[in-house]
Amino acid sequence: MTTFDGREYQARFDALTAKGIDLHGEASLVRSFEPRTVLDAGCGTGRVAIELDRHGIEVLGVDVSASMIAEAQRLAPSLTFLVADLAELDLGRTFDVVVLAGNVPLFCPPEARDALVRHCAAHVGSAGVLVSGFQLDQGYGTDDFDRAAREGGLEMAERFSTWDAKPFEPSDTYAVSVHRWLR
């Protein structure tokens, strides 16, 4: 498992924001589904959760890293953030959108990636979606993710190459996927 220093990690994003770079592509795509509730799975320092909250969406952020969660709580003390392993997550509730932004499956040990996807899928409400984005050149691709999502009861509905919904091409090295419940 990769270990992060929350403050150091957040400093990267603060520097990009200071340069005027828009860091809210993930939140914008999530907002396009008009959710009332969102699980930000692998929330890191809370960047996506904080932006969604700014738009009046109820958000719960979960990350395995206590340092990342501590930074998220420092940045947004009014939001709820939990330290938990997504591969074992059971919150006892569902959400309109479960989002895995920023390579979340790749930060999980390879042997636990499918469990992470299945446990996140279990938190998607009956009319909800699982939205994920990650690099495809790291030993875990769309076929792997789609299989794990299907094992969790979801099927791929849409796939993009970026968070701003550019069409996906087979040669792309990044994918943003939207999964819905199997019908």
Domain positions in the chain are: 24-181
Residue 8 pLDDT exceeds 90: no
pLDDT at 118: 97
pLDDT band at 52 (very low <50, low <70, confident <90, very high): very high
Residue 174 pLDDT exceeds 80: yes
pLDDT at 10: 52
Residue 25 pLDDT exceeds 70: yes
CA pair distance 15, 54, nearest whole angstrom = 21
19 vs 156, more confident: 156
pLDDT at 90: 97
- Residue 142, phi then psi, degrees to nearest 5: -65, -35
Mean pLDDT confidence for 44-65: 96
The interaxial angle of helices 66-75 and 47-54, nearest 10 deg, is: 30
Neighbour order of strands in the sheet with 154-160: 80-83, 58-63, 37-41, 95-100, 124-135, 174-181, 154-160
Residue 7 pLDDT exceeds 70: no
Residue 13 pLDDT exceeds 80: no
Mean pLDDT confidence for 52-81: 96
Residue 178 pLDDT exceeds 70: yes
- Take residue 182 and report the two structure tokens written for it: 């199997």
State pTM to two decimals. Answer: 0.88
Interval 72-131: pLDDT, tens: 999 999 999 999 999 999 999 999 999 999 899 999 999 999 999 999 999 999 999 999
pLDDT band at 182 (very low <50, low <70, confident <90, very high): confident
Domain 24-181 part of CATH 1.10.3720.10 = no
CA pair distance 146, 159, nearest whole angstrom = 11
